[in-house]
Amino acid sequence: MSGVVALKQEASEARVRVRYAETDQMGVVYHANYLVWFEIGRVEFIRQLGLDYKSMEREEGCGIAVVNVSARYKAPARYDDELVIQTRLLAARGPVIRFGYRIVRAVDGVLLCEGETVHVVVDKDMKKRSLPQRYADRFATALIS
C-alpha cells in the first residue's frame, strides 16, 4: 500500500493492573476497557518519543481525534491481572496517524487483545490540520519508508 510505512523502533510499553470495577459479572474485563488501555499506551508512546500530548493540545492548539478503532479479543483478562500495553506507530501520513496495540498478561505473556486506532489531527474547532512540525519530525524518526 502506497504511503504506509513500517515501524523502526520497538514498541513502547505501559503497565496497568485490572481493577475490580473493570470486570463484569463473570469476572472478565469488560471489552470497552481495552479502548481506555489503548489510550494509555498511545499517550505513553508519545511520551517515550520525548513529546507530551498535553503540551500539544495546550501549546500547539491541536489534538489527534480517533476516527476508527478495531480490537480483536483473544483471551480474557481478569481482576488483578497485570497487563502490558505494547504500542507502535504503524503509519503517519499528512494529518492521519495509525497506532497498533497488543495487550498481554504480564505473568505469562498471553496475548489478550490486539488492535489499531486511526486518528486525524484536528484544531480546537475539530477542523483537520497538519501535525505540528516537531511532532511530525519525531514521528518520522520512528518510521522507515
First CA to last CA distance, the chain: 12
Q: In what side-by-side order are the strands of the sheet with 62-73?
A: 12-17, 82-93, 96-105, 111-123, 62-73
Q: What is d(CA 40, CA 53) in angstroms, rounded to the nearest whole number?
A: 11
What is the pTM assigned to this prediction? 0.89
Work out the pLDDT band at 2, boundaries 50, 70, 90: very low
Kindly list the catalytic residues: 24
Residue 64: which of 41, 25, 20, 97 has the closest Cα?
A: 97
Architecture of domain 6-144: Roll (3.10)
Where do the domains of the chain lie? Answer: 6-144
Q: How confident is the model at residue 9 (pLDDT cuts 50, 70, 90)?
A: low
Instruction: Give yes or no for a contact between 22 and 80, defined as CB atoms under 8 angstroms apart.
Output: no
The rounded percent of the chain whose pLDDT value lies above 70 is 92
**pLDDT confidence tier of residue 142, bands split at 50, 70 and 90:** confident
What is the band of 11 on the pLDDT scale with cuts at 50, 70, 90? confident
pLDDT score, position 98? 96
pLDDT digits (tens, 9 = 90+) for 64-108: 999 999 999 999 999 999 999 999 999 998 899 999 999 999 999
